[in-house]
Amino acid sequence: MRTHFEQIAVEEVRALIALMDDGPTLEQIEVVPCPTCGAKPGEKCKLINGESRMDPHHNRRRTAEDLLSS
Ligand SMILES: [Zn+2]
């Protein structure tokens, strides 16, 4: 069971991670739908041929960043 103090620390670390130059994690990016390829939350971005992309589309990353910074 987590103490109250530990819970705060976890949230501070999350906030710091969100501020890092690397931007949101893949996990965070994938909770938003992709405006480029239409991938739903929890799905990976797709190539034109329907295969999964290794990296999420730039616009999806930007959307996730906007959500994290708001
Ligand atoms: Zn995409």
pLDDT of 14 reads 75
Q: How far is the CA of 4 from the centre of ligand 1 (A)?
A: 38
Distance CA(19)–CA(56), nearest Å, equals: 19
What's the CA-to-centroid distance between 10 and ligand 1, angstroms? 29
> What is the per-residue pLDDT for 17?
61
| pTM score over 0.85 | no
C-alpha 27 to ligand 1 mean position (Å)? 14
Question: Could you tell me the distance, in angstroms and rounded to a whole number, from the CA of residue 48 to the centre of ligand 1?
Answer: 10
- Digit-by-digit pLDDT tens for the chain (70 residues) are 667 767 777 777 777 666 656 678 889 999 999 999 999 999 999 999 999 998 899 999 999 999 888 7
Between CA 27 and CA 64 the distance in angstroms is 10
Of 33, 34, 14, nearest to 24 (Cα)?
14
